[in-house]
Structure 1
Amino acid sequence: MATKTQAKIPVVDLSNLDLKPGTNTWFSARKDVCRALEECGCFVVEISNKIPSELHNTTFSTFGKLFEFPTETKMKFTSERPFHGYFSSPTYERLVIDNATFTDVTQEFTNIFWPNGNHHVRESTDSYVKLMAELDKMVTKMVFENYGVGDYYDSHMESTTHSFGIIKYKEPQKTGNNSGLGIHTDKHFTTVIHQNRVKGLLIKTEDGEWIDFDPSPSSFIFMAGDGLQVWSNDRIKACIHRVLLAENLETRYSLGLFSHNNKTICAPEELVDEEHPLHYKPINLRDYAQEQNRLVAYQKELSLKVYCGV
């Protein structure tokens, strides 16, 4: 009897972030990226030599110090946007900066914790945001081109902003709960995740299998969010994932870059035909996130089909 092969998260090497559109290497990478997103809703990005292991370790150690500040200090970091600012739950804490690609915004963020400034934290934040935003823009451009609507890319990015999240997961031996994050999809357009060496992220395949993400200093994971699922008219499904933590391990930290299109999202007319009838009504991601935020207290996960399905 043949044994079932363990599913793996697709891996795409994008070490050369200066890939030029229109070149053979660009077309090859674009093909790999879009196949992975269609099959799995995500893929592992290898970016060798972009982040030395020393910088990786120092950065996570520095970001970890943010959570050592008194709760009243962390509570000063607020935002009107759902899931932004400071938030604490029984299993994790997070700090999410809106419009994080602007250096004055990250400066204001660090000044909350260090009123006289902290160049190291600000520069580390800016460096990671810049790298992850470049990655997000490249992959998004590839997706738009792949479906023959590359002309829409510039207008899409003009209405897109990026948030940067720093998340600390509480040790299971202290909380009595190994669930860091429940099963969900991200309520953004796309997500880029980078983390320390502590495992915990699990990706669900179409077959219902859960796959571990094994992190490294040079690896990121790119995920499709609900916004991309609506835009692609179900060609790409949002990545279903969760975080489960093992006991007796060091603290897990992760960094996330979340892209938000701040206008109404709908599938381009070129992506609607007899083979692909329209699946969703137009959606505003901020309103969608606000509704999900309302349901958090009830421990409910908002469904795209329920919220805006045709």
Structure 2
Amino acid sequence: MPGVNPEIEFPAIEFRLSDLKRGTEGWNRLCKRVQEACETFGCFEVVYEKVSTKLREDAFGLMKEMVELPVETKQKNNSPMPYHGWVGPCKQVSVLYEGFGVGDASNYDSVKSFAQLMWPNGHPHFSDTIHTLGTQMEELNKLIWLMLIDSYGLGDDSLKMNYTTLVRMMKYMAPPPGEYERGLFAHTDKPVSTLICEDQISGLEIEVNDGQWIKLTNLSPSSFVFVVGDPLKAWSNGRLKSVNHRVMMSGDKDRYSIAAFVIPNEGTIIKTPKEFIDDQHPRLFKDLDFMEFFLYAFSDPARHIDNGELLHVFAGLSPPVSN
């Protein structure tokens, strides 16, 4: 596996319920660990048992049912927003990849509308399961944002926005025997942040140094991977790392994953709090209109296959010229 480094230890942080009371010693310790992981790696494994194993297993079972539906049914899951609808195997993304999008997944009616597209008589078990999982992943994301705010000593308003949670359900087919193939191109995330729930088949890799990759293996069955997106990097004035990541497939098993993406409402401006800017840390990014950035990133098929440079092209401020 070229360029994959097994030596580097990926941070796994357990969120014990006893440590989740804001302001306690346990909470403050968690905040520091979350901050360090997001600054160093741009992501980390969250061990979080509040989301039950049964819920996860039900979600993956339903997803396996869904991928067997006819293509003409899947195509009904469409959207003018990039990556919000069904994407079938294709060269631009990957011949191994298939993904569905459920927008505003913490809103029951939104999930129900999706289910009625896929199954004309509705599918109450699907709606209940995906709505519950989407809601719980949204709550976990909010919790991590709160930890980041507290780790920097900022007020709650410093990272406050109206947004919806897009849940994407993704299948990566096993490659031909003996092959090591791309399941999803290397990229940084354009939503603010992402939570990924896996089905125990590894494939997710992150870039830790230039060109040096590690595969995330042996993740706990009750864990998620939290990923910093480009807008969080801009918000933190570059302190948080938006990590370049990809999916590489080997072996004979298909891989399923469910990701929850934070999609701010149209008109949301990502601003860097003044606390992040000083003489040692000059301002790196101008205020960022999220939707303009998101649509710009996907407006050219070649453009979204990037390693974070788009953020600097779109919103980067040139270094000041010295006299």
1:27 alignment partner, SS class: helix
**Which structure shows the higher helix fraction?**
1
CA distance in 2, matches of 1:299, 1:227: 15
- Report the CA distance shift for 1:100/1:15 in structure 2 as closer, same or farther (over 3 A): same
The alpha-carbon deviation at position 224 of structure 1 amounts to 0.3
Q: How does 1:56-67 map to 2 (within 5 A)?
A: 56-67=56-67
Identity over aligned pairs, percent: 33
Whether contact under 8 Å (1:106, 1:122) holds in the other structure is yes
CA distance in 2, matches of 1:118, 1:73: 14
- The yes-or-no answer on 1:256 pairing with 2:259 is yes
CA distance in 2, matches of 1:194, 1:300: 22
- Report the CA distance shift for 1:232/1:49 in structure 2 as closer, same or farther (over 3 A): closer
Whether contact under 8 Å (1:201, 1:241) holds in the other structure is yes
- The yes-or-no answer on 1:178 pairing with 2:181 is yes
The alpha-carbon deviation at position 49 of structure 1 amounts to 6.2
TM-score with structure 1 setting the length: 0.91
Q: Which residue of 2 aligns with 1:102?
A: 107
CA distance in 2, matches of 1:31, 1:46: 16
- The yes-or-no answer on 1:284 pairing with 2:289 is yes
Q: Which residue of 2 aligns with 1:69?
A: 69
2:21 alignment partner, SS class: coil
CA distance in 1, matches of 2:104, 2:127: 14
Whether contact under 8 Å (1:144, 1:152) holds in the other structure is no
The alpha-carbon deviation at position 216 of structure 1 amounts to 3.4
CA distance in 1, matches of 2:117, 2:56: 24
CA distance in 2, matches of 1:189, 1:47: 21
**Corresponding pairs, count:** 302
Q: Which residue of 2 aligns with 1:223?
A: 227
CA distance in 1, matches of 2:17, 2:212: 32
Stretch of structure 1 that moved more, 183-192 or 80-89: 80-89
Please, what is the CA RMSD of the aligned residues? Answer: 2.2
Q: Which residue of 2 aligns with 1:93?
A: 98
TM-score with structure 2 setting the length: 0.87
Whether contact under 8 Å (1:56, 1:217) holds in the other structure is no
CA distance in 1, matches of 2:185, 2:207: 12
Q: Which residue of 1 aligns with 2:23?
A: 22
Unaligned runs of at least 5 residues, structure 2: 318-323
Whether contact under 8 Å (1:81, 1:286) holds in the other structure is no
The alpha-carbon deviation at position 145 of structure 1 amounts to 2.0
The alpha-carbon deviation at position 86 of structure 1 amounts to 1.1
The alpha-carbon deviation at position 59 of structure 1 amounts to 2.5
- Report the CA distance shift for 1:299/1:163 in structure 2 as closer, same or farther (over 3 A): closer
1:85 alignment partner, SS class: coil
Q: Which amino acid is the alignment partner of residue 149 of structure 1?
A: L
